[in-house]
Chain A
Amino acid sequence: MAIQLSHFSSSSTTFSSFDHKISYFSKWVTDIHFRRQLRNNFELKSTNGYPLNAIPMQDEGSVAKTLGEEVPFPEFGEANSMLSITVVGASGDLAKKKIFPALFALYYEDWLPENFVVYGYARTKMTDEELRNMISKTLTCRIDRRENCQDKMEEFLKRCFYHSGQYNSEEHFLELNCKLKERESGKLSNRLFYLSIPPNIFVDVVRCASTKASSATGWTRVIVEKPFGRDSESSRELTKCLKQYLTEDQIFRIDHYLGKELVENLSVLRFSNLVFEPLWSRNYIRNVQFIFSEDFGTEGRGGYFDNYGIIRDIMQNHLLQILALFAMETPVSLDAEDIRNEKVKVLKSMKQLQLEDVVVGQYKGHSKGGKSYPGYIDDPTVPKDSVTPTFAAAALFINNARWDGVPFLMKAGKALHTKRAEIRVQFRHVPGNLYRRNFGTDVDKATNELVLRLQPDEAIYLKINNKVPGLGMRLDRSDLNLFYKTRYTREIPDAYERLLLDAIEGERRLFIRSDELDAAWALFTPLLKEIEENKIMPELYPYGSRGPVGAHYLAAKHNVRWGDLSVDGLFLPAFAAGKICLDGFLLLYSSSLSKKFKDQKRFWWSGFEVLLSVIQI
């Protein structure tokens, strides 16, 4: 049985008076309460002897009593344990931009245990002071909590140290081990290694760290970042190597999309609201879309990307993971293993991707208003003849009872017109709709849609048909809205904060298990092979555009319309600009050409096309 020490109420121990403990504890208890319940039973955590899954006790006596009953190893109180977090690759971009700031945010909000040290490990020679200096540049405080920020920052930096060494040198890790031991000074030691390094040295580091710098008394965990291989074989190889040195429950494969607030909320929304679950099947859902777009290209850093491409970089991991969460059956419980079991089942029920269900694209240079944007192959770090896709759209299918025949569409691209990530659930049309006359000929145009916007500006909205107030009977689409900004004043934590905290707590729900990873690669590997072997030419699209037209044809083939390019997404912003032109056009048409267009429909469509072209300009 692994005993894992929790950090939570570091706050309570930092206060000297018991009164403080109680009040602070109560303040956090609601937050803490739930996290606790998610844990596996064997991962018992004690925080200074407080049974965290109990309601806070007001009198000392009962606390002591519960402690005796429920915590089998009271000697591992928090004061006696020490958490060391080693960021391997500390001078890298991810470490600077995400990992250290996330650690600081956790520290600021008292989520880290009382005793902890942060070690930076990299090849560069640096002193502790230089590391602290480097880190301090990227630390920020939450917008809504600025008090003592500076003090806290300094205290945090005092706990940061640096150790320089080679990634494949066991001696250097042995030195690290000595330093860690010094800091731990006999306390129970828990060690977390965050590997923020290129994949080719993963295994070396894992070998050195696990053989030379594992904790002797507590747990040792390793967080690994993507890429987890390039295909089934290389991924399996990597897993095999990792498993030589680590057991499955020591490996934490991070997918930071799973740490996003709205991805976390997806399950809450679905499983704690009666109104959604009945709709969550092929009976009511027509299609589901997972959309990711960035409004910038590789910008001179295409070296890594060119070797992987958008499908491996975004689809096979982030989008597929969200899809699995979305489509899974109700798990037995919220425990990590139960959830991951369900996710694996989804992945295994999926039809392997076919080339004809995929569209790939690559952005090309584009000049707009005196400014010119480079094409992908203009990037000096990218080979001139690269056919690596920077855009991909795919239709996936889950062959199980719940989802048979429902297209799950994915779209991911760089250098598009917007930056967004969202899940769109389009519902079927109302059978025998009484109001069908109000919708024109295309019944699918006026269907309900549930949108979860992961970024930017987190929001949930449900598009409904509604009567426009007034004397007539006109319907339009309105949204039932929940904008996080207006509803919740608190800043939403970064995905890395959540994931780091989960790793520290041993909560594996949001990390990818080996069999999950296998199943995910199995879906994509044949396709990726085919694309690469046949050197399939990507469809070129201009930088800053809406992506290749092929994506529309792909969607149309499965009778889907992309939600993000639909009437409300596309026309509304463009409408103001296009309206004048359109009005002029209409008048022109109605006066001079009206006789030619006896057919109302053709007439309408020509208007539609002109509007489209106006927007495209």
Chain B
Amino acid sequence: MASLSSPSHCCSSSSSSAYSNSSSVRFHHHHYISNLEFYANSPKKLGSKKISLQSRGSPYSNTILMQDGVVATTAATVENEAPTKKLKDVLSSASPPEEHNVNNDKSTVSITVVGASGDLAKKKIFPALFALYYEDCLPEHFTIFGYARSKMTDAELRNMVSKTLTCRIDKRENCGEKMEQFLKRCFNHSGQYDSKENFVELDKKLKEHEAGRVSNRLFYLSIPPNIFIDAVRCASVSASSANGWTRVIVEKPFGRDSESSAALTRSLKQYLEEDQIFRIDHYLGKELVENLSVLRFSNLIFEPLWSRQYIKNVQFIFSEDFGTEGRGGYFDNYGIIRDIMQNHLLQILALFAMETPVSLDAEDIRNEKVKVLRSMRTLSIDDVVIGQYKSQTKGDITYPAYTDDKTVPKDSLTPTFAAAALFIDNARWDGVPFLMKAGKALHDRRAEIRVQFRHVPGNLYNRKFGTHLDRATNELVIRVQPDEAIYLKINNKVPGLGMRLDRSNLNLLYKARYSKEIPDAYERLLLDAIEGERRLFIRSDELNAAWALFTPLLKELEDKRLIPEYYPYGSRGPVGAHYLAARYNVKWGDHGVDE
């Protein structure tokens, strides 16, 4: 009767609707999925903490375990409205031993944020951890350590962290209390990133908190790439867990090109196994990127269309409406191609274009993604347009050029905009252009995937469309941000006595359909890392293949010191992007008439 408790609160959404055939547990192997739907609502308050997480012996067994014997207590609890704490006791006493049930009381997770005083840590990591805690997704026993060079007390760290914590809009109850409880579990340890002694001290502190339980340790490296290796070395040598797992989350950049990336991977592998390395690409944690596979593989109507036979082109569009704003130091060294295209957009492309994987297991999915990347043509410089924004005065406000940024060299040629046409030379996608576009300081902020379909062969309604057949084709748009949405543009008859066609959308606006706040990408990725779910992290061979595509191009751009096309701050980007698209008979969907 594990069923009643199994939709662990953290993984299932609280707005679970009873009619949906949903399983709350992230698709791990578990046996009760089918029969749970109706219960999803009632036991929401129960036992969520207990069940949310169990440690796993093997990093590959990503089964979420179920608590047995919960049912017996369910009725009683609801009647008494017993507080969670009491319930917890009841639960643990009521739980009969089960074979692979590692008792929660004996395991703990310590999350060490290395580079705790940095921007990413403050803005994303700590808030994401708190959100996970708030939704009961963290195990019962956990501690969070901030590690940085700046001297700070625990209280100072807590003070710093507390400033950026927020509660979900739709779940405000007890938020203040929860926050305090969360902060109590946060500690600070100051130390050098390359000092083994300092990490040994950390290890001691962690051990104290673990108090003899099975210890699992997650290190989040939120530090510049030049000290990656040092930190990894020290952490793995001096602060690895003795009896549980140790995992390390690494942020981009993963090198600058094939060679440096390979060198980085080699160094990491000196100290870590492949399955300990979690290369994060936070775009893969976005709700609609996650949904891409669901859309494609769980709906009959899309898969038949998913090939060169029906798809004319695919576009991956990323734009920001601000520039480097005084923080171009890091960016200038990398440029938009490395910063957005080679990782975020290419990863989404691989997910989009991959063949159906054998299963949803991380290795199966990543195998398919690698296959796509390896089938791709190396980018040639003819298929790329680069740009850099220049200053513009609009009204009274003057927007600075990229090279006006104090942290950027005056003669910098680093692209802040790039558009590229890529091709996958396999049976499914031969000849279909995959266009990418990424830029800073453009007129709007968005990230989206656009699938443009071919025109209807022998269209009966041809005359309605004038001379340009391709103008009235179907288009599937997956808007990743802002305002998540999926819509399919169709040709429709305008109601009325005439026979006029127009384009209407079959819409799914997330805001209108789902009342729940969509979790931040970092929450999902942190939770996955804790659970050992590697699906959304980048494997070494994936990374290699990705660099192999872009490295020759990047080298050429830099060797030849190609001048980027200048575009005004806040504009739609360089005109070159349109010519590039036109060469492959493509129109950018985001500049279409209806947009």
Question: CB-CB contacts of B484-512 with A at 8 A, as 1s and 0s?
Answer: 10111011111111111100111110100
Quick check: is B16 within 8 A (CB to CB) of the other chain? yes
Would A476 and B297 count as touching, CB distance under 8 A? Answer: no
Question: CB-CB contacts of A234-270 with B at 8 A, as 1s and 0s?
Answer: 0000000000000000000000000001001101110
Distance A167 CA – B3 CA, assembled complex (angstroms): 74
Distance A296 CA – B49 CA, assembled complex (angstroms): 53
Quick one: which of B1, B25, B33, B458 contacts A440, CB cutoff 8 A?
B33
Quick check: is B592 within 8 A (CB to CB) of the other chain? no
Quick check: is A402 within 8 A (CB to CB) of the other chain? no
How far, in Å, is B150 (CB) from chain A's closest CB?
32
Quick check: is B184 within 8 A (CB to CB) of the other chain? no
Q: Which of A73-81, A89-97, A212-220, A599-607 contacts B (4 or more CB under 8 A)?
A: A599-607
Quick one: which of A271, A437, A467 contacts B294, CB cutoff 8 A?
A467
Quick check: is A479 within 8 A (CB to CB) of the other chain? yes
Would A31 and B38 count as touching, CB distance under 8 A? Answer: no
Quick check: is A65 within 8 A (CB to CB) of the other chain? no
Quick check: is A471 within 8 A (CB to CB) of the other chain? yes
Would B300 and A434 count as touching, CB distance under 8 A? Answer: no
Number of interchain pairs (Cβ within 8 Å): 298
Quick check: is A200 within 8 A (CB to CB) of the other chain? no
Interface centre among B4, B16, B21, B458 (most CB of A within 10 A): B21
Quick one: which of B294, B484, B506 contacts A465, CB cutoff 8 A?
B294
Would A278 and B310 count as touching, CB distance under 8 A? Answer: yes
Q: Check A435/B27 contact, CB under 8 A, given A475-B21, A501-B497.
A: yes
Quick check: is A71 within 8 A (CB to CB) of the other chain? no
Would A482 and B22 count as touching, CB distance under 8 A? Answer: no
Would A434 and B357 count as touching, CB distance under 8 A? Answer: yes
Would A594 and B22 count as touching, CB distance under 8 A? Answer: no
A window 468-515: CB within 8 A of B: 468-482, 484, 487-488, 490, 492-493, 497-498, 501
Would B514 and A469 count as touching, CB distance under 8 A? Answer: yes
Q: Which residues of B contact A33 (CB under 8 A)?
A: 498
How far, in Å, is B135 (CB) from chain A's closest CB?
7
Q: Which residues of B contact A571 (CB under 8 A)?
A: 18-19
Would B518 and A469 count as touching, CB distance under 8 A? Answer: yes
Quick check: is A379 within 8 A (CB to CB) of the other chain? no
Quick check: is A16 within 8 A (CB to CB) of the other chain? no
How far, in Å, is A541 (CB) from chain B's closest CB?
25
How far, in Å, is A39 (CB) from chain B's closest CB?
11
Q: Which residues of A contact B299 (CB under 8 A)?
A: 430, 448, 464-465
Quick check: is B174 within 8 A (CB to CB) of the other chain? no
Chain A residues bordering chain B, tally (CB within 8 A): 100
How far, in Å, is B272 (CB) from chain A's closest CB?
26
Which residue on chain A has the smallest CB distance to residue B26? A473
Q: Which of A117-125, A329-337, A542-550 contacts B (4 or more CB under 8 A)?
A: A329-337
Would A433 and B297 count as touching, CB distance under 8 A? Answer: yes
Distance A208 CA – B355 CA, assembled complex (angstroms): 71
Question: CB-CB contacts of B1-29 with A at 8 A, as 1s and 0s?
Answer: 10110000011110111111111111100
Q: Which residues of A contact B60 (CB under 8 A)?
A: none
Q: Which residues of B contact A330 (CB under 8 A)?
A: 458, 460
Quick one: which of A333, A461, A611 contacts B460, CB cutoff 8 A?
A333
Q: Which residues of A contact B499 (CB under 8 A)?
A: 31, 34-35, 38, 264
Would A274 and B356 count as touching, CB distance under 8 A? Answer: no
Q: Check A446/B298 contact, CB under 8 A, given A271-B456, A472-B11, A591-B75.
A: yes
Quick check: is A201 within 8 A (CB to CB) of the other chain? no
Distance A280 CA – B379 CA, assembled complex (angstroms): 38
Distance A458 CA – B501 CA, assembled complex (angstroms): 17
Distance A526 CA – B206 CA, assembled complex (angstroms): 84
Quick check: is A320 within 8 A (CB to CB) of the other chain? no
Would A272 and B461 count as touching, CB distance under 8 A? Answer: yes
Q: Which residues of B contact A479 (CB under 8 A)?
A: 508, 513
Which residue on chain B has the smallest CB distance to residue A479? B508
Q: Check A274/B453 contact, CB under 8 A, given A34-B500, A441-B34, A478-B508.
A: yes
Q: Which residues of A contact B459 (CB under 8 A)?
A: 271-272
Would A462 and B21 count as touching, CB distance under 8 A? Answer: no
Distance A587 CA – B42 CA, assembled complex (angstroms): 9
Quick one: which of B32, B76, B497, B519 contacts A111, CB cutoff 8 A?
B497
Quick check: is A572 within 8 A (CB to CB) of the other chain? yes
Would B22 and A273 count as touching, CB distance under 8 A? Answer: no
Which residue on chain B has the smallest CB distance to residue A109? B497
Q: Which residues of B contact A274 (CB under 8 A)?
A: 305, 310, 453-456, 473-474
Question: CB-CB contacts of B117-145 with A at 8 A, as 1s and 0s?
Answer: 00000000000000010010100000000
Distance A438 CA – B305 CA, assembled complex (angstroms): 23
Quick check: is A575 within 8 A (CB to CB) of the other chain? yes
Q: Which residues of B contact A54 (CB under 8 A)?
A: none
B window 515-558: CB within 8 A of A: 516, 518-519, 523-524, 527
Quick one: which of B294, B460, B506 contacts A481, CB cutoff 8 A?
B506
Quick check: is B359 within 8 A (CB to CB) of the other chain? yes
Q: Which residues of A contact B26 (CB under 8 A)?
A: 471-473
Q: Which residues of B contact A607 (CB under 8 A)?
A: 38
Q: Check A434/B19 contact, CB under 8 A, given A471-B524, A600-B35.
A: no
Quick check: is B582 within 8 A (CB to CB) of the other chain? no
Q: Which 7 residue pairs across A and B have the least CB separation, nearest first?
A: A31-B498, A440-B34, A472-B11, A476-B20, A591-B75, A480-B506, A474-B22
Other than the given A330-B458, A476-B17, A493-B495, 7 more pairs (CB < 8 A) read A32-B498, A38-B499, A274-B456, A470-B518, A472-B24, A475-B294, A587-B78
A-B CB contact pairs (8 Å), 30 listed? A111-B497, A265-B493, A269-B492, A272-B460, A274-B310, A274-B454, A274-B473, A274-B474, A275-B476, A275-B488, A275-B490, A279-B301, A279-B304, A284-B300, A430-B299, A461-B506, A464-B301, A465-B294, A466-B508, A468-B16, A471-B523, A474-B12, A475-B22, A482-B506, A482-B507, A487-B504, A586-B39, A587-B74, A601-B35, A611-B38
Q: Which A residues contact B (CB, under 8 angstroms)?
A: 30-35, 37-38, 106, 109, 111, 261, 264-265, 267-269, 271-275, 277-279, 284, 330-331, 333-334, 427-430, 432-435, 437-441, 445-448, 450, 458, 460-462, 464-482, 484, 487-488, 490, 492-493, 497-498, 501, 567-568, 571-572, 575, 579, 582-583, 586-587, 590-591, 594, 600-601, 603-604, 607-608, 611
